[in-house]
Structures are given as C-alpha cells and as structure tokens.
Amino acid sequence: MHAITYRSFGEPDVLELTEVARPVPQAHEVLVRVRAAGINPPDWKLRRTPYPPDYVDLPLIPGWDVSGVVEEVGDYVGRFKPGDEVFGMLNFPRYAGAYAEYVVARPRQFARKPTGIDHVQAAALPMPALTVWQAFEDVAEVTAGQRVLVHAAAGGVGHLAVQLAKLRGAYVIGTARAAKHAFVRGLGADEMIDYTTVDFARAVSDMVPDSGTSNMVPDSGTSNMVPDSGTSGVDVVLDMVGKDYPARSLPVLRSGGAFIGGAGMTPEDVAAYEAAGLRSGVFVVEPDHAALASIAGLVAEGRLAAHVDRVFPLAEAAKAHALMESGDFVGKLVLEM
C-alpha cells in the first residue's frame, strides 16, 4: 500500500510517498481502507523531534485521524462489518500511522461516519472535536451562561471549540489575527481579539468591567447570553497555543475558573494557578467512541461542522505540513487518498 513515511526527523521535505506492507488486523482489530486523513499539530511536531518511547524508531508513518471504509474485521469483532463507513482518532498518543491507504485499530476507536458529509469532512473532526468535547465535558464542565475564551479560535481545535461552546450556551471570546475574525464570528463568536495588535488580557478586561460578581444574563429577544455589566473575567480558557499563553491567561480568569492547555505549562505556571485558587492543566485527548458518536450526531443535525481550508493528495503531505506550520489557513487541512 502507499503511505507517507519519514526516515529522519526534520523539515516537511523528510516526508515521502513510499510502498509499505498492508497491515493485518488481529482478532480484536478492524482493517479500514482510508479515504482521508486529518492533519493535526502533533503530526508535524513529532516529525521534527523524536519523542520517546513511541516516536524514535524510524521509519514512521505520521497521523491519527482517519475516515474510511471497513475492509476486514478480526475474528472477535462485533461492532462493524465490511463496508461500514467509519471515522476515528486512532491510538493517540500512541503510534497509529494514519497517512496510509490502510490502518488497523480496535473497533472502539471508531464511530460511524456522520451522515450527510464526505470522508474529507469526517477526517477533519476526530482529534480537534474530541479535544474540545473532553475538555468541556470532563475538565471544565462548560455550562450555559459562562464566558469561554478560546485562543487560536480560527484553528483546527479553536473553530470547533467556538461552535461547541455556543451549543452549550456560553458567551465566546476568541483570539485570532484580524483577517480571520469574520470567519470566527461566522461560527458564533461573540467577541474577537486581534492578539497581534493588543494584549488579549487587557482586551478581555476592557470587555468585562471589573465591578462586582453577577452572572451572565439573557439578551432581550434572543437566546444568546451576554455579559452582565457587573462581572469580571472569564470562566474557562481553552489554549492550544502554549508558549507564554498559560502565564498571560491567568489574570483573565475569574474565581473558580479553569485553564485548559495543550502545551506550554511550566511548574511555575502550575504553582501560580494553584496559588490563585484556579484549576489548570495540560490536557491530553484520548480515543472515545461514545463522544465521537455524539459529535457525529451534531454534525448530521447540521449543528456542528469542521471547516476544511484545503485538501491535498497523499503524495503532497510535505506541502500540507509546510502550510500547517505557517498558520496561513483557517480550520483544518486534510489529505485525500
């Protein structure tokens, strides 16, 4: 089968189209013919630098997110049969090898592909949608009336976070370059901050006057929640940027708030959040077929959608990685077989 592999760590040009043996499903696995593979930041970050113990022995096939058709099932598999259309995030953070014509994984790492969308759209969903779902459901418990600050709101995780936060009745503030504001507002964001021209912490403070502690109130004549003029700070920060964002985000959280990050939290950051009485931590998404099924339901109902900026053929994975690292896109990038 064709697959993208890399035999050394480095720039996107280490990715090459190669011929490798087709995987064979074990008794507890399904073999899926991949129609499309989603590209996520861990793909290129692990391509650049080995990460012991799972990403050291070369060559490697990158990727975790796929959408495709069940080709074979193991002797003891009962959830799917050949011909079923499925999508999923495989094995993360363990090795999966998704940039290939075939993958094997346990059936509970897949869910049935959402109806009404193609494999490209479905492949754009698993990792970012599960990240937000688990962060909002299991960690922060986002509820109606809360304020949620989404960093990188035009990105793969961010643009789904905006939609899912709005579905939970939250008031959403997003950070992104000005050129991407219209896109994020179109997803439902209530306020936008251009992080390249202003300090987002100061901008959030200006949006929410510091006087009292009243809650969100319904906007007259609409179903949206708006800031009551007595509330200070936000309830949840979702950050997939890392770097100095954990430290800079601390002042914007109100009492009892939660910071959920994908990377970049130092021991000093953790100590600072603990001292302030705030919840914080680096969040690692995990395979979750039940959540995937719920996500698929929202997509089928037209209440959630992944925006695919560009689709690349498998052979052009290096171009796709270069674009992802540049950040010059909105939503998701996908490889099509």
Among candidate residues 121, 188, 168, the one with its CA nearest the CA of residue 331: 121
pLDDT averaged over the chain?
Answer: 92
The domains of the chain, with CATH numbers, are 2-125+306-336 (3.90.180.10), 128-282 (3.40.50.720)
Q: Which of 321, 295, 282 is nearest to 87 (CA)?
A: 295
- Closest by CA to 201, choosing from 170, 230, 232, is 232
H-helix or E-strand spanning residue 275: helix 267-275
Per-residue model confidence (pLDDT) at position 231:
52
pLDDT tens string 244-289: 999 999 999 999 999 999 877 899 999 999 999 999 988 899 999 9
Q: What is the pLDDT of residues 181-220, one digit of tens each?
A: 999 999 999 999 999 999 999 999 888 544 333 334 444 4
pLDDT at 218: 43
Q: Please give the residue that has the higher pLDDT: either 89 or 141.
A: 89
pLDDT digits (tens, 9 = 90+) for 30-52: 999 999 999 999 999 999 999 98
- Residue 139 binned pLDDT confidence (cut-offs 50, 70, 90): confident
Whole-angstrom distance, CA of residue 211 vs CA of residue 215: 12
| Separation CA 124–CA 307 (nearest Å) | 8
> Is the pLDDT at 166 greater than 90, yes or no?
yes
Percent of the chain, pLDDT > 70? 93
The set of residues, in sequence order, having a beta carbon less than 8 Å from that of 184 and lying 6+ positions away, is 153, 154, 158, 159, 162, 174, 176, 192
